[in-house]
């Protein structure tokens, strides 16, 4: 995903001042928690131990400046030498594969992947077509990064600006917000949570982990449990929501997917609020591995049964059932 931006560092600085857990910061930014730990450790003193580069608590501006300084100072020495190029080209012309050259020829100090990269980048004057199997068996492992980090145009096509006005004003039924609630560090399980914007109907499914696959399964459960009532789902830009393959599958079903801007939880205010209500039953630090779906359903029912001022002292269940009755009447 590349280096942290100044905006991301600004969010970290604010989050730390209100003692937000590292795992939640990472989730919000769509980054791995180790990235956040490393960022904070390198750019501030922690737990009474001073950093080698700064004597101050974490600051977005300081961290950004330090990152630029490090970038200027870094730069590994090039491994390309005329002698090495000549040796590798010689053995390639003798029909040796890059693997055979690296593991079988003395004093070849680069990796197999580097040889392939040099061939693809034409640093070596050796045609890829002359490799065994034309080099097709060698594939770089991208670990799915293309799916996890779509480009900006992909998000623009699904921004809240594209969402119907009736959804924004909560006058049309069937538009949901989605989020996830993390378990304690001891637990891998998480909760997928959904709120219908007009009626404030809240729903949650226990998922085995916080992956895009688990979230996709939860979304399919929502659609199956409330058929015909899911017109759109608004999400944040966490990695569990931005798998392009799964988004495409939902859109083929006629379900629009929208994404809030980064660091803008207020754009999914209903879900944020309801997750706070759920924390009354499951405080931060709860290990969801030890919570059953049946127990979770009881908490959700209690929340949905409360009279709400915003609903003129009706419950979310009352309003949701009225909408269902209206739909049935007009079918």
pLDDT of residue 270: 92
pLDDT at 76 over 50: no
Residue of higher predicted confidence among 141 and 304: 304
Q: Taking a C-beta distance cutoff of 8 angstroms, is the pair 299, 275 a contact?
A: no
pLDDT at 121 over 60: yes
pLDDT of residue 128: 79
Residue of higher predicted confidence among 65 and 117: 117
Alpha-carbon Rg for the chain, nearest whole angstrom, is 26
Please enumerate in sequence order all residues whose Cβ is within 8 A of that of 138, keeping only pairs 6 or more positions apart, or say none: 98, 112, 113, 116
pLDDT band at 12 (very low <50, low <70, confident <90, very high): confident
pLDDT-above-90 percentage for the chain: 44
Distances (CA, A) of 218 to 45, 200, 203, 270, 304: 40, 18, 10, 19, 19
| Helical residues (DSSP H) of 74-204, grouped into ranges | 82-93, 98-104, 112-120, 145-148, 152-156, 165-168
pLDDT of residue 134: 60
Tens digits of per-residue pLDDT, 238-289?
A: 889 999 999 999 999 999 999 998 888 888 889 999 999 999 999 988 999 9
Nearest alpha carbon to residue 8 among 79, 46, 61: 61
Tens digits of per-residue pLDDT, 129-170?
A: 787 666 555 544 444 443 446 778 899 999 999 999 999 999
Two tokens, residue 328: 């049935």
Mean pLDDT over each residue of the chain, to the nearest integer: 85
Average pLDDT over residues 327-331: 82
pLDDT at 54 over 80: no
Distances (CA, A) of 32 to 106, 134, 141, 239: 39, 36, 18, 10
Nearest alpha carbon to residue 221 among 240, 236, 199, 206: 206
Burial class (CB in 10 A: 0-12, 13-18, 19+), 135: middle
């Amino acid at each position: 995903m590349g280096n942290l931006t100044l905006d991301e560092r600004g969010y970290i600085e604010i989050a730390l001042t209100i003692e937000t857990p590292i795992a939640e910061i990472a989730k919000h930014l769509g980054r791995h928690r180790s990235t956040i730990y490393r960022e904070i450790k390198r750019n501030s003193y922690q737990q009474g131990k001073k950093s080698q580069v700064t004597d101050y608590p974490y600051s977005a501006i300081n961290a950004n400046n330090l990152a630029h300084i490090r970038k200027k100072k870094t730069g590994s020495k090039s491994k390309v030498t005329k002698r090495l190029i000549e040796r590798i080209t010689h053995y390639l012309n003798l029909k040796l594969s890059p693997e055979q050259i690296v593991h079988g020829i003395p004093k070849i100090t680069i990796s197999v992947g580097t040889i392939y990269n040099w061939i693809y980048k034409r640093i070596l004057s050796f045609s890829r077509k002359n490799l065994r199997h034309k080099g097709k068996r060698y594939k770089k492992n991208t670990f799915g990064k293309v799916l996890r980090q779509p480009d900006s145009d992909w998000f623009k096509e699904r921004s809240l600006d594209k969402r119907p006005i009736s959804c924004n004003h909560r006058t049309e039924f069937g538009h949901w917000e989605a989020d996830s609630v993390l378990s304690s560090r001891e637990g891998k399980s998480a909760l997928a949570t959904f709120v219908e914007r007009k009626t404030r109907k809240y729903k949650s499914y226990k998922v085995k982990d916080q992956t895009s696959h688990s979230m996709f399964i939860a979304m399919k459960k929502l659609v199956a449990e409330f058929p015909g009532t899911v017109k759109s789902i608004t999400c944040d830009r966490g990695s569990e929501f931005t798998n392009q393959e799964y988004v495409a599958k939902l859109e083929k079903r006629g379900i629009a997917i929208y994404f809030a801007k980064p660091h803008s939880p207020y754009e999914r205010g209903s879900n944020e609020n309801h997750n706070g209500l759920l924390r009354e039953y499951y405080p931060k630090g709860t290990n969801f591995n030890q919570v059953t779906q049946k127990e979770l359903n009881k908490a959700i029912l209690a929340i949905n049964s409360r009279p709400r001022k915003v609903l003129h002292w009706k419950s979310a269940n009352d309003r949701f059932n009225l909408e269902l009755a209206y739909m049935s009447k007009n079918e």
